[in-house]
Amino acid sequence: MNLELKKAIDQISKDKGLERDMLIDTLEDAVRTSVIRKYGEDLDVEVRYNDDTGDIEVYQFKFVVDDVANELTQIDLEEARKHDPSVQLDDEMGFRLKVEDLGRIAAQSAKQVIIQRMRDAEQEIIYEQYKDRVGEIVSGIVQRRDKGGWVVGLGGTEALLPREEQIPREHYKRGDRTQALIIEVRKEGRGPQVIISRAHRDYMAALFRREVPEVDDGTVQIMGVARDPGSRAKVAVVSRAHEVDPVGACVGVRGSRIQNIVQELRGERIDIVVWSPEIAAYARNALAPAVISRIVVDESENLLEVTVPDDQLTNAIGRKGQNVKLAAKLLGWKIDIFSESRYNEANAVGRGLEQVASVAEISVEQLVAAGYNTLDSLRDASDEELADRLALSAPRIAELRAAVNFLSPVVEGAKQEGTEESAEEAGE
Domain ranges of the chain: 3-128, 134-197, 200-275, 342-427
Q: What is the dihedral of CA 412, 418, 422, 423, to 10 degrees?
A: 40
**E strand intervals along 115-206:** 137-146, 149-153, 158-162, 177-188, 191-197
200-275, superfamily in CATH? K homology (KH) domain (3.30.300.20)
Asked if residue 188 has pLDDT above 70, the reply is yes
Residue, of 252 and 124, whose pLDDT is higher? 252
Q: What is the residue-averaged pLDDT of the chain?
A: 84
Global model pTM greater than 0.75: no
Q: What whole-number distance in Å separates Cα of residue 107 and Cα of residue 392?
A: 104
State the pLDDT at residue 345.
61
Provide the greatest CA pair distance for the chain: 129
Q: Which of 9-23, 182-196, 404-418 has the highest mean pLDDT?
A: 182-196
pLDDT for 361 beyond 70 = yes
pLDDT tier for residue 138 given thresholds of 50, 70 and 90:
very high
More confident residue, 188 or 392: 392
Say which CATH architecture domain 134-197 belongs to. Answer: Beta Barrel (2.40)
Do 200-275 and 3-128 fall under one CATH topology? no
How far is the C-alpha of 323 from the C-alpha of 331, rounded, in Å?
12
Q: Which CATH architecture has domain 3-128?
A: 2-Layer Sandwich (3.30)
pLDDT above 90: percentage of residues in the chain: 42
Percentage of the chain beyond pLDDT 70 is 87
Which residues, 6+ apart, have CB-to-CB distance to 332 below 8 Å? 224, 302
Q: Is residue 199 exposed (0-12), middle (13-18) or buried (19+ Cβ within 10 Å)?
A: buried
Distance CA 234, CA 42 (A): 69
pLDDT at 374 over 80: no
Q: For residue 72, name the pLDDT band (cuts at 50, 70, 90).
A: confident
Say if residue 266's pLDDT is above 70: yes
Stretch 384-399: mean pLDDT: 90
Strand partners, 233: 227, 270
- pLDDT, residue 351, reads 63
Average pLDDT over residues 294-308: 92
- pLDDT value at residue 1: 44
pLDDT of residue 423: 34
Quick one: pLDDT at residue 33? 81
pLDDT band at 270 (very low <50, low <70, confident <90, very high): very high
Banded model confidence at residue 55, pLDDT cuts 50, 70, 90: confident
For 310-333, the pLDDT digits (tens) are: 999 999 999 889 999 999 999 999
The helix (run of H) or strand (run of E) holding residue 385 is helix 383-390
State pLDDT tens for residues 396-428.
889 888 888 887 654 444 444 444 443 343 344
Distance CA 40, CA 383 (A): 106
pLDDT over threshold 90, residue 11? no
Lowest mean pLDDT among 68-82, 88-102, 128-142, 316-330: 88-102
Residue with the larger pLDDT of the pair 138 and 125: 138
Residue 50 is given by DSSP the state E
**Alpha helix positions (H), 143-278:** 201-211, 213-216, 246-251, 256-264
Phi, psi (5° rounding) for residue 373? -110, 10
What's the average model confidence in pLDDT over 230-237?
96
Confidence at 240, pLDDT banded by 50, 70, 90: very high
The CB density around residue 157, as the number of other CB atoms within 10 Å, is 20
Whether pLDDT at 151 is above 60: yes
Neighbours of 303 (CB within 10 A): 13
